Amino acid sequence: MLIKKVILGLLSESPLTGYDLKKRFSSSLLLPWSGNSNQIYKALLELHEDGLVTVEEQQQPNKPPRKLYTLGEKGHQALREWLQSTPEPPQLQNPLLLQLLWAHQVEQSASRAMLDTYEEDLSEHVATLREHIRRQTTTAAADHALAVHAMQHWIALYEFHLEWVRRLRETLA
């Protein structure tokens, strides 16, 4: 499960609580998860059971104890092995393409309106990524360079997709 590898990566930077991980996932431009608590806590439980992370309960006044997860040596080793392994080809799941399979069931004007909104949203997302890169490169450290390259990859993919959507809209016009 890829989410466990990403959690190992995040924990390699610093110990985190499940809530901290949820915030990292939901605020990230590069991580493809929404920050779903069920996924995160299930993965943390499995990582702990496998001996890859340790958990420390920290008491809080007038609150339930918080659990702080730390990457153990076995977890560092698992992360290093994953980082050196050959990745699988990407699995692209595109909701737009799935919607288009049955778009003939609605008025063409509704499909065009959906594509207009989709194009605007995608353009805004590209602009957000570009701004994030701009900020990263002004304070760029060596460890941020690879993240910038990853964002540039997503921008190129989104721009290709935007061009495809524009051609599709022209076809429907």
> For residue 141, what are its two tokens?
């450290």
102 and 149 housed in the same domain: yes
* Number of domains the chain is built from: 2
CATH number at residue 63: 1.10.10.10
- Smallest CA-to-CA distance from 150 within 4, 9, 17 is with 9
Tell how strand 63-71 and strand 16-17 pair up.
Answer: antiparallel
Whether 60 and 99 share a structural domain: no
What was the pLDDT predicted at 27?
Answer: 83
pLDDT for the residue 106: 93
pLDDT reported for residue 35: 66
The reply to whether 137 falls in a domain is: yes
- What is the structure's pLDDT at 28? 82
Do residues 67 and 133 both lie within one domain? no
pTM: 0.72
- Tokens 């006044």 correspond to 61
What's the chain's average pLDDT? 88
CB 26 within 8 A of CB 10: no
pLDDT of residue 75: 97
Nearest-angstrom CA–CA distance, 132 and 124: 12
Q: In 10-165, where do the E strands start and end?
A: 16-17, 53-60, 63-71
- CA dist list (Å): 117 to 11, 27, 80, 112: 37, 23, 42, 9
C-alpha radius of gyration, the chain, whole number: 20
Is residue 112 in some structural domain? yes
- Per-residue pLDDT tens listing for the chain (173 residues): 789 999 999 999 999 999 999 999 888 877 777 667 788 999 999 999 999 999 999 998 998 899 999 999 999 999 999 999 998 887 777 889 889 999 999 999 999 999 999 999 999 999 988 988 887 766 555 566 778 888 899 899 999 999 999 999 888 87
Structural domain including 10 reads 2-84
Q: Answer yes or no: are the C-beta atoms of 43 and 7 closer than 8 Å.
A: yes
d(CA 97, CA 93): 8
User: Given this model, what pLDDT does residue 138 score?
Assistant: 61
